[in-house]
Amino acid sequence: MEPLEAALREWHDRVSARGRAMATGSARLESCPRAREERERKLPLSSFLLYRAVMPEAASAAAVRVTIGDSEFDRDTAVTRRAPGVYDIDLSAGWTIISAVNGGYLLAVLGRALGDALPHPDPFTISAHYLTASRPGPAVVRTETVRTGRSLSTGQASLLQYDDEGNEVERIRVLASYGDLDALPDDVRTSAKPPAMPPMDQCFGPEDGPAPVEGSSAIADRLMLKLDPATLGWALGQPSGRGEMRAWFGLADGRDADPLSLLLAVDALPPTAFELGLKGWVPTVELTAHVRCRPAPGPLRVSITTRNLAGGFLEEDAEVWDSTDRLVAQSRQLARVRLG
């Protein structure tokens, strides 16, 4: 078993054990007025543990909200142009789960480089193939313009790092088309509907549980996630089997969403495999994201579903909705799971 796989299995087991222990009722939580209120609403008492046990305590929304361009996300995805089409980046350890750099963060890094290399500013569609696991530290992004047109430009990019033997290794390769979201017409004709979720104050975040599992997830310090309790049975050892995950999403420092942070949002929730009763690492093989419009200020809602797990692979279909009930991003990824 790979070290990361083993660590994630241990982390998952610890979270579930904590959930079961609290489900039997801890004296500390039993005396909590909010816990009693939740019990009266017939939600599991142990729901309070879920998010904080899942992830370390994220910084609450900053007293002074940061602006787009001045947040940790912007600094950690910033690339430096070394030569035309070539960019340097220091991948931050702050966006890791155990020791793996999050795929959505990596997609945003590549998306930022392509936004500089191409004549159009905004990602419309971006498809990434994850070839090998990326590590925190120096990396190089090499871009190539494939085609430019009046409304769309297309490019490809690769992220590369050096391995322990000094060999250059390609970690990710993407193909993307960029345009100008602000130039799109306002006409919307859709049958899509926002996910049915409880209000944010009825979902669960770091402040609703006990002390976090140490070292489990650095990325959680940088996110505002409030998970729908209907998709958290896995953390109690009672997965629903439905393959669904839903959450309110934002950045912990209060920065509003933009097209690049949407690339992070589609890959920031716990894997749906957990609600299918599986444990451990669920590495992304391929991810395609569509950015449909510039999101309005305010928290996002992310809904992810899996309909088919077969042969050790599953798909995750994600929708991201903004505060005006507009569908702002969609994605599909193919991921690998360990069965048994």
| Residues 193, 316 within the same domain | yes
Which pair of structure tokens corresponds to residue 205? 């975040």
Helix and strand numbers (H, E) in the chain are 7, 15
| Residues 202, 282 within the same domain | yes
Is 65 contained in some domain? no
Distance CA 114, CA 96 (A): 23
Is 67 contained in some domain? no
Is 34 contained in some domain? yes
The residue to which tokens 């279909």 are assigned: 317
| Residues 300, 223 within the same domain | yes
At residue 64, the pLDDT reads: 60
| Residues 103, 252 within the same domain | no
| Residues 140, 288 within the same domain | no
pLDDT tens-place string over residues 223-268 = 999 999 999 888 888 999 999 999 999 999 999 999 999 999 999 9
Is 173 contained in some domain? yes
| Residues 110, 81 within the same domain | yes
| Residues 130, 98 within the same domain | yes
Is 218 contained in some domain? yes
Q: Which domain holds residue 245?
A: 3-59+187-336
Distance CA 32, CA 109 (A): 42
Q: Which of 180, 195, 224 is the last residue of a domain?
A: 180
- Phi, psi angles (nearest 5°) of residue 204: -125, 130
Which pair of structure tokens corresponds to residue 46? 């142990």
Distance CA 226, CA 252 (A): 11
Is 66 contained in some domain? no
Q: Which of 145, 180, 215 is the last residue of a domain?
A: 180
Q: What is the CATH number of the domain that holds 42?
A: 2.40.160.210
Is 64 contained in some domain? no
Question: pLDDT averaged over consecutive 10-residue blocks of the chain (340 residues)?
Answer: 47 46 36 38 33 39 72 98 98 92 98 98 99 97 98 99 94 99 94 96 72 64 94 89 96 97 97 93 96 98 98 98 98 93
| Residues 199, 161 within the same domain | no
Query: Do 116 and 123 meet the contact criterion of CB atoms below 8 Å apart?
Result: no
Query: Do 280 and 9 meet the contact criterion of CB atoms below 8 Å apart?
Result: yes
pLDDT tens-place string over residues 5-33 = 444 454 445 444 444 443 433 333 333 34
Q: How many domains does the chain have?
A: 2
Task: Count Cα atoms within 13 angstroms, Cβ side, for 258.
Answer: 17
| Residues 204, 316 within the same domain | yes
Q: Which of 180, 204, 225 is the last residue of a domain?
A: 180
| Residues 219, 307 within the same domain | yes
Distance CA 263, CA 300 (A): 13
Enter the pTM of the model: 0.82
